């Protein structure tokens, strides 16, 4: 058990059957009246943010969010299979739990899986991945205006904007948080 006066940034707690993480907190002791804890917290499953003031003696259940690194194996319809590298246990995860940035993950990549009481609520791909361009139009010679980009399809099927000098077969480093091309990598 923890009380509202124990709140610190990053602390996870359970309230009304949901798991929340403290983003900001402030202990307020007004000149008149009782002290309170003004708290900004996020639902770790849905991502919604709320602000509430709590009595410092309010009690909450401590929530333990488990984060494990699992290897992505393959998908079968809406189920995506991940493997624990130590126990070789396979975990199927519903496709609705995967974010938009999962389109940059290829087989055998390591991903961080967040779960609460055995239920997975988030899959975080690696921050940077290296992918091969499978399809793109050739650059037009003489088209040298600044920041000219073109569409490129990557080996995972994701389509991104790349500079005009990128060709099919090039290996690119991609930032999965933004989906942006970072650099061309030498093979």
Residue pLDDT, tens place only, 47-75: 789 999 999 899 998 888 888 999 999 98
- pLDDT for the residue numbered 48: 87
What pLDDT, in 10s, does the model give residues 111-160? 998 888 777 878 889 999 999 999 988 876 666 666 778 899 999 999 99
Tokens linked to 187:
């093979």
Let me know if domain 2-62 sits in CATH 2.70.170.10.
no
Domain boundary assignment for the chain = 2-62, 65-124, 128-185
Residue closest to 112 by CA, chosen among 126, 102, 93, 98? 126
pLDDT at 115: 84
DSSP string, 85-153: TTT--EEEEEGGGB-GGGGG--TT-EEEEEEETTEEEEEE--SEEEEEEEEEPPPPTT---TT-EEEEE
Q: Given this chain, do its domains 65-124 and 128-185 carry the same CATH topology?
A: yes
Token digits for 98? 């995967």
pTM of the model as a whole: 0.70
pLDDT at site 50: 92
Per-residue pLDDT at 144: 61
- Domain at 128-185: CATH code: 2.40.50.140
pLDDT at position 172: 93
Domain 65-124 CATH assignment equals 2.40.50.140:
yes
User: Contact 131/156 with Cβ under 8 angstroms?
Assistant: yes
């Amino acid at each position: 058990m923890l009380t509202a006066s124990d709140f610190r940034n990053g602390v996870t707690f359970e309230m009304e059957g949901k798991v929340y993480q403290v983003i900001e907190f402030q202990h307020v002791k007004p000149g008149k009246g009782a002290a309170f804890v003004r708290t900004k917290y996020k639902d770790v499953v849905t991502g919604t943010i709320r602000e509430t003031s709590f009595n410092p003696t309010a009690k909450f259940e401590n929530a333990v969010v488990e984060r494990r690194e699992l290897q992505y194996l393959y998908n079968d319809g809406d189920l995506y299979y991940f493997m624990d590298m130590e126990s070789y246990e396979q975990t199927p995860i519903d496709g609705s739990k995967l974010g938009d940035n999962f389109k940059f993950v290829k087989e055998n990549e390591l991903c961080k899986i967040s779960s609460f009481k055995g239920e997975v609520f988030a899959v975080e791909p690696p921050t940077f991945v290296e992918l091969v361009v499978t399809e793109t139009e050739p650059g037009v010679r003489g088209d040298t205006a600044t920041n000219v980009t073109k569409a490129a399809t990557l080996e995972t099927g994701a389509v991104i904007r790349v500079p005009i000098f990128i060709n099919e077969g090039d290996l690119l480093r991609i930032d999965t948080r933004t989906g942006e091309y970072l650099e061309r990598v030498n093979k």
